[in-house]
Amino acid sequence: MPIFQELFEPCSTQQADLNNMMHHPCIMDLIDPIDPADVPDNLRIERHAIWLQRLPHSENKGSSRRHARVSFVAIDMFGLTSHPTIRMFTEFLPNLKGAAGQAMGQKDSSAQPIVEICSGPGTPLIILPGSSGSIARFYGLRRHFRGPLWAIPITDPKTTPLESVTALVGFWKDRIREKRPRGPYRLAGFSSSAVLAVVLAKLLEDEGEEVEQLNFIDNFPAMWIREEAAGFLRRATAAEHIDFIAKYVVDLLRSDPSVSADSVATYDAAFRGLPDASAASRREVQISNLVTGIIVQFLKDFYSGTTTTPYGAFAERLTGWLSSVKAPLVLLVAEHGVVASPGGAWPDLGASRIRKPVTVHYVKGVGHFGIFNEKVARILELPTKFSAKL
């Protein structure tokens, strides 16, 4: 039997599509694992990588088969989640042969700056990605979230402006308003995009739009006012920050119960520039380095003009900026996430150190990347005035 047997459980109507798929070689290298139940139409993922090998067709059933020489193409998680059924994925595969196909795959991804993970009536919750640009983990909410849920991936640094926070968030704001011209809006920032979510909320509010809720998922901008973090921010170079954050991500992966050792090794290999790192993981690290660089520069600007008491002035400016958002603030803290990182963190990630009230939820038993479960879906889908009761 071909290797597809252990990867898929097709129903009879999908058998033809599955057979056709055997003629299209590819690798789907998935940096972030995804729950098999989150992929519809019996497309079943057993591990964090799927290898589809083309076997040469033989009319003589008794003859032995030899593997044909084939080329492999990397398909990122966006390519999978954008074509979730066997039929859709089969139709997508012919476009992924060789370098030209890979470029076409990137074009397909960038053509959808906003991905609808869940549909339905009401105000959509729009989640911004972490520094890697991946939205794969957000699909953990799909079985549980009630209402529309949108995510904004970063799939290609060539089509997404990454020269500054202002350029990136302005680009996101324009794409959001193209899809939903008027508010209200509901936003969430995951990981390092906590800072970006504040910038986006303030942009929308400055344009007269209402932001009903601003959620922070296992990160909070006030973390940077810890004296250790603020001191490092002030003295370290951009390259030192990028190196520090990359190692920090590896630590978060290691401490997350939902992340396998293989996934940690894959990301670590890409971070270290090892030759066996996959193209998809190298691309995620490239994007992460660019996003980290512009966020660090944005935060460094809060030090501008401080003279006599640089730390105190920095903390006052940053917390004042964060407190100026009109939207209600909600923070979700993962038990095995940022709060448990080797670098240390306040239990509430600094939420109590700003002038504006923050509703804080502590999510037990999950890590930074595995936080997207049913409990979190319940918190994120409800208005702020009700979420504190959960």
Which pLDDT belongs to residue 273?
Answer: 83
**Alpha-carbon dihedral 294, 296, 301, 307, rounded to 10 degrees:** -160
Integer Cα distance of 255 and 337 in angstroms: 7
What pTM did the predictor assign? 0.73
- DSSP 8-state assignment for residue 337: S
**Alpha-carbon dihedral 83, 89, 95, 101, rounded to 10 degrees:** 70
Which pLDDT belongs to residue 47?
Answer: 32
Which pLDDT belongs to residue 315?
Answer: 86
Which pLDDT belongs to residue 196?
Answer: 97
Handedness of CA 298, 211, 214, 31 (dihedral sign): negative
User: Are 35 and 270 a contacting pair, CB within 8 Å?
Assistant: no
User: Are 193 and 220 a contacting pair, CB within 8 Å?
Assistant: no
Write out pLDDT tens, residues 54-94: 323 333 344 343 333 333 444 444 455 444 455 555 555 55
Which residues, 6+ apart, have CB-to-CB distance to 119 below 8 Å?
148
Alpha carbon separation from 129 to 10, 59, 114, 241, 357 (Å, rounded): 32, 49, 11, 19, 24
- How is 269-293 classified by DSSP, letter by letter? HHHTT-TTS-HHHHHHHHHHHHHHH
Low-confidence stretches of the chain (pLDDT < 70) are 1-111, 305-309, 382-390
Q: How many CA atoms lie within 13 A of 369 on its CB side?
A: 26
Which pLDDT belongs to residue 295?
Answer: 93
Q: Which H/E stretch holds residue 300?
A: helix 279-300
What's phi and psi for 329, nearest 5 deg? -110, 135
Integer Cα distance of 172 and 190 in angstroms: 15
Q: Which H/E stretch holds residue 4?
A: none
In the structure encoding, which two tokens stand for residue 77, read together? 């998680």
Which pLDDT belongs to residue 155?
Answer: 80
Does the bond joining 148 to the residue before it have cis omega, within 30 degrees of 0? no
